[in-house]
Structure 1
Amino acid sequence: MYDNIERELKLLVDEKAYNELLRSYDFHNPIIQTNTYFDTDNQDVKKQHGAVRIRTIQGKKIFTLKIRKDEYTHYEFEKEINTENINEINDPEILNWFDQYQIPKNLNPIASFTTLRNVYEFENGELCLDKTVYNHKIDYEIEYEYTSDHDGIHFFNSILEKYGLKWIKNCPSKIARAMND
């Protein structure tokens, strides 16, 4: 992420392609992350083209607010917090983000799932392989996240073509997939 901008290209793959990719790069230290997403009963966050989540990694809790800028770019604001209860957050910076993007404060958990993430770093971005377990299904996703400005689409497709894959547009987000579970 650079300057609160997250640019990522995402593609769902089958288990076979996931395993081939996993063997093709020297991934180190896979992490398990639990993601809990929040919204109002009226889906006010979704209506803002946003997402609010608390991600837990090895006991560390990270608050994230994402607001969609375009097809594969988001404004992303993150901060470590000390609670899993969204309604207990009283950090002035986070509350300012809520005000700035008209995010209501009466949020409820709407989805929770666990992802095993493997990351491989390139000069201008990160390749992430995610195996996500929802309530009743498992899916596999490859993601290329920019860390600096460059032609990421061409770069990502050059990786994918070795596996007979091509990125055309982003697959639905994990939260969207969780809500369809």
Structure 2
Amino acid sequence: MSQQAEREFKNLLTASEYQRLQQAYSFTIPFKQTNLYFDTATQELKRRGWGLRLRLFKDRAEQTLKIPAHGEHDLWEITDPLPLSVAQQVQIQQPSQVSQYLQKYNIDRTQLQLIGYAQTERQQAILSAGLLVLDRTSYADTTFDHELELEVQDTASTSTTFRNLLNTQQIEPRKTTNKVARAVVHFQNISLENQYANLERMLFD
């Protein structure tokens, strides 16, 4: 388990911008990750500005609670590693560091429900400024989008580096909601039957 501070800068991309960036940087081989997002029926986490997810990789998984820090782009992340088979049960696990933090604020695991999910094909490149991330994400309704993200561990850093990167690559700055909000919209757009049929394919295919 771990806790860390992180600063993230994000920008949605067109398909052509995504393809151009693939050629512009030395990205790693793409890998897939599936994110499952949770909240209570009364949106207790959303009201607090928190994000709670299960993230599944090919052979492992983790659960993470994201909590806003001081700046607009700053987050605290509380993460517990999980076996893949446990995460496939689609439940936040306890006892854990995440569940203990939730209980501190009177949020029990049994109050949580799935509110959305997404599967991302991710590529990463290490820059002097931080970790550059290129994502192609599919949602519950089978639509997809593209996104660029810069993750900076040094929370004293500003957004200047990210703005310069966008300018250099001739990418229009776009107001970008987080993946949780996008996943929730796509999840709500389809029938209950399709919500879970598509999730099962993501989890077990």
> Is the strand fraction higher in 1 or 2?
1
User: Given the superposition, is the C-alpha separation of residues 18 and 88 from structure 1 closer, same or farther in structure 2, using an over 3 Å criterion?
Assistant: closer
Q: Give the Å deviation of 1:101.
A: 4.7
Distance 2:46 2:28 in 1: 34
Preserved CA contact (<8 Å) 2:63 2:92 = no
Distance 1:116 1:108 in 2: 25
User: Given the superposition, is the C-alpha separation of residues 104 and 15 from structure 1 closer, same or farther in structure 2, using an over 3 Å criterion?
Assistant: same
Q: Which residue number corresponds to residue 4 of structure 1?
A: 4
Preserved CA contact (<8 Å) 2:6 2:75 = yes
% identity of equivalent residues: 27
Distance 2:57 2:177 in 1: 23
Q: Which residue number corresponds to residue 71 of structure 1?
A: 72
Could you list the per-position Cα deviations for residues 16-64 of structure 1 after superposition, in whole angstroms to 9, with x for gaps in the alignment? 0011001111111211000001111111111111111000011311100
- Which runs of no fewer than 5 residues in structure 1 stay unpaired? none
Q: Give the Å deviation of 1:81.
A: 1.5
Q: Give the Å deviation of 1:114.
A: 0.3
Q: 1:95 aligns with which of 86, 95, 99?
A: 99
Q: 1:144 aligns with which of 146, 150, 154?
A: 150
Q: Which residue number corresponds to residue 119 of structure 2?
A: 114
* Letter aligned with residue 56 of structure 1: L
Q: Which residue number corresponds to residue 125 of structure 1?
A: 130
The 4+ residue runs of structure 1 with deviation greater than 6 A are none
Distance 1:144 1:166 in 2: 16
Q: Which residue number corresponds to residue 189 of structure 2?
A: none
1:28-107 alignment runs, 5 A limit: 28-69=28-69, 70-82=71-83, 83-84=86-87, 85=89, 87=91, 89-105=93-109, 106-107=111-112
Q: Aligned residue pairs: how many?
A: 179
Q: Give the Å deviation of 1:154.
A: 1.2
- Which runs of no fewer than 5 residues in structure 2 stay unpaired? 187-205
User: Given the superposition, is the C-alpha separation of residues 122 and 87 from structure 1 closer, same or farther in structure 2, using an over 3 Å criterion?
Assistant: same
Distance 1:131 1:100 in 2: 35
User: Given the superposition, is the C-alpha separation of residues 149 and 75 from structure 1 closer, same or farther in structure 2, using an over 3 Å criterion?
Assistant: closer
Distance 2:155 2:6 in 1: 11
Preserved CA contact (<8 Å) 1:10 1:143 = yes
Q: Give the Å deviation of 1:156.
A: 1.2
Preserved CA contact (<8 Å) 2:54 2:61 = yes
Give RMSD over aligned pairs.
2.1
Q: 1:155 aligns with which of 161, 170, 174?
A: 161
TM-score, normalised to structure 2, is 0.79
SS at match of 1:4: strand
